[in-house]
């Protein structure tokens, strides 16, 4: 049995991604959060398509509940995410693609309204999520980039800072630990933003890992990220065995079942991730590690990629896996 929680064992914040409806209906899940985490991120409750599903019709219900849950339980609330190609509701895409002035104005108003409403209650924001292509060092050709150019990124950070000067502001992306040209592209952007006085304070590294991504490559990449001086957040950690092509189109099921040997290897990998974070990120830059779903029952990976995988630290029955203890050892 689990003796003490991850948060007691950790020198930096430990978080989990969750939706408010999961906490409300599941006492075991809630207990896992209370025992192990001191930070939470909403998996989707705080994305644009949930906050502003229709024009002029803000929906604060889930975000309000997350704020009160996190306040009551003394959890840091991480805001995910303000601008994301996949989080943009259809109506914004439709209107914005026809009217760049409107889109520029909308970006400002949305951020001011949303961030302003939760000023002082959201510790940090993923201001821009996945602004680079899946692979390589180019800006993603999203609606935002195509209509507004790369300045949408700098502007989003400026508006967020104006609305809540105390909040930490992150750029968040994936594959940075494995794709060196993508990492270099993001790091150049970070340098440019800093040179232009844009108020970016953190780099979010999603860390949707796969067992065969070499530890040495991950370590080297994290060292480069830390050299920016920004706060570093491992923002969406999970570790899969099987593969997929980074789209919804489907995964490659290499493993039929989970063996004791696989559990052991996964535990070692989780331990290594914690070690890499501790050893490569200076303490003053350690913003924490967040698990993206933390049970194999609830993991987004399986429905999203059409896989049967076991990426998290708690099993289908919400019992801690070897990965849980491995991670804890690395803290
Ligand atoms: C995912 C959620 O986990 C899913 O439930 C939802 O269907 C799609 O979004 N990178 C991110 C997250 O930044 O917002 C994504 O979350 C996972 C990949």
Q: What is the CA(65)–ligand 1 centre distance, in A?
A: 20
Q: What is the CA(292)–ligand 1 centre distance, in A?
A: 8
Domain ranges of the chain: 6-323
Chain position carrying tokens 């080297």: 220
Average pLDDT (48-55) is 98
3, pLDDT greater than 80? no
Q: Is 289:206 a contact under the CB 8 Å cutoff?
A: no
Residue 41 Cβ contacting ligand 1 at under 6 Å = no
Pairing of strands 39-42, 202-205: unpaired
Average pLDDT (297-323) is 97
Reported ipTM? 0.99
Cβ neighbors of 37 (< 8 A, separation 6 or more) are: 5, 6, 7, 14, 15, 16, 75
Q: Count the neighbouring beta carbons within 10 Å of the beta carbon of residue 269.
A: 21
Average pLDDT (73-78) is 98
Tokens of 73: 């339980």
**pTM (2 d.p.):** 0.98
For the chain, what is the largest distance between any 2 Cα atoms, rounded to a whole number of angstroms?
A: 58
Exposure on the CB side of residue 206, measured as CA atoms within 13 A: 22
**Which three-class secondary structure state does DSSP give residue 242?**
coil
Average pLDDT (5-10) is 96
Residues with a known catalytic role: 236
157 alpha-carbon distance from chain centroid? 17
Q: What is the pLDDT of residues 226-270, one digit of tens each?
A: 999 999 999 999 999 999 988 887 899 999 999 999 999 999 999
Give the pLDDT of residue 1.
44
Question: Going by CA atoms, what residue is nearest to atom 8 of ligand 1?
Answer: 44
Give the pLDDT of residue 256.
94
Give the pLDDT of residue 250.
86
Percent of the chain at pLDDT > 70 equals 99
Question: Going by CA atoms, what residue is nearest to atom 4 of ligand 1?
Answer: 300
Average pLDDT (66-81) is 98
Q: Which fold has domain 6-323?
A: TIM Barrel (3.20.20)
Give φ, ψ of 85 to 5 degrees.
Answer: -55, -40
Q: What is the pLDDT of residues 171-222, one digit of tens each?
A: 999 999 999 999 999 999 999 999 999 999 999 999 999 999 999 999 999 9
48, pLDDT greater than 90? yes
Average pLDDT (22-41) is 96
């Amino acid at each position: 049995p689990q003796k003490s929680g991850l948060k007691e064992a950790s020198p930096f914040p430990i978080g989990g991604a969750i939706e408010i409806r999961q906490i409300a209906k599941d006492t075991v899940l809630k207990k896992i959060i209370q025992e192990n985490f001191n930070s939470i991120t909403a998996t989707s409750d705080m994305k644009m398509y949930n906050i502003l599903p229709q024009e002029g019709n803000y929906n604060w219900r889930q975000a309000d509940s997350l704020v009160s849950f996190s306040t009551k339980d003394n959890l840091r609330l991480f805001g995910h995410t303000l601008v994301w190609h996949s989080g943009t509701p259809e109506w914004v895409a439709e209107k914005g693609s026809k009217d760049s002035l409107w889109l520029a104005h909308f970006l400002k108003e949305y951020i001011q309204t949303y961030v302003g409403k939760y000023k002082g209650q959201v510790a940090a924001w993923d201001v821009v999520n996945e602004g680079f292509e899946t692979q390589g060092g180019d800006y993603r050709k999203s609606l935002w980039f195509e209509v507004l150019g790369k300045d949408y990124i700098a502007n989003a950070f400026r508006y967020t800072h104006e609305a809540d000067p105390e909040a930490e502001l992150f750029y968040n992306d994936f594959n940075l630990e494995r794709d060196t040209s993508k990492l270099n592209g993001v790091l150049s952007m970070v340098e440019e933003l800093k040179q232009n006085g844009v108020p970016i304070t953190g780099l979010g590294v999603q860390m949707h890992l796969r067992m065969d991504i070499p530890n040495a490559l991950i370590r080297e990449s994290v060292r480069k990220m830390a050299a920016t001086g920004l706060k570093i957040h491992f923002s969406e950690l999970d570790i899969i065995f099987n593969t997929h092509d980074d789209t919804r189109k489907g995964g490659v099921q290499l493993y039929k079942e989970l063996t004791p040997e696989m559990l052991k290897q996964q535990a070692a990998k989780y331990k290594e991730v914690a070690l890499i974070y501790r050893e490569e990120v200076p303490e003053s830059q350690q913003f924490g590690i967040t698990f993206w779903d933390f049970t194999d029952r609830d993991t987004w990976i399986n429905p999203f990629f059409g896989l049967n995988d076991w990426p998290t630290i708690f099993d289908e029955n919400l019992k801690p896996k070897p990965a849980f203890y491995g991670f804890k050892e690395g803290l």
